Copies of this chain bind each other. A is one copy, B any other.
Amino acid sequence: MEYYRFKLNFKVRDYECDLSGIVNNAVYQHYLEHARHEYLKSQGVGFAELEKQGITLVVIRIEMDFLYPLRSGDQFFVGLNTERISRLRFGFLQDIYRLPDEKPILSAKVVGTALNEKGRPRLPAEIQELIASSLELDASGG
């Protein structure tokens, strides 16, 4: 298994499962979103503070490969890495593994940007730093 900058543990709740007895596909997006937000908060990036600066973080693309379903009561974690995609876009590479056997469940790439009050892309310093530190990490073989 890969190295992750951030990991968050979860447990499947029954109401997240659907008719077919497995976690509904849309719920994985909730897991991924919660992990991203917790990661950003852990790095001191607050949505409320950014909003005061007139900046909104937005997701512009999501790719998800569903490898194996989670079921009622399963424990799992979301692992997260970041990457710079372009001057104005950054990516979250997020994978879900079941616990304790680390069976791969889902692999996702989430592309984001930040918009200013006029709806134009503008990456705030906090996000630039996060991504820069991510590059260093990669450069040092992290």
Residues of A at under 8 Å CB distance from B?
13-15, 17-21, 24-27, 29-30, 33-34, 37, 41, 47, 56, 58-66, 72-73
A62 to B66, CA, bound (A): 8
Whether B24 pairs with A19 at a CB distance below 8 angstroms is no
Q: Are A19 and B66 neighbours in the complex by a CB distance under 8 Å?
A: no
CB distance from A108 to the nearest CB of B (A): 9
15 extra A-B contacts, CB within 8 A, seeds A15-B30, A62-B63:
A13-B30, A14-B18, A14-B19, A14-B37, A17-B19, A19-B47, A20-B47, A20-B56, A25-B62, A26-B27, A26-B33, A60-B65, A61-B64, A62-B62, A62-B64
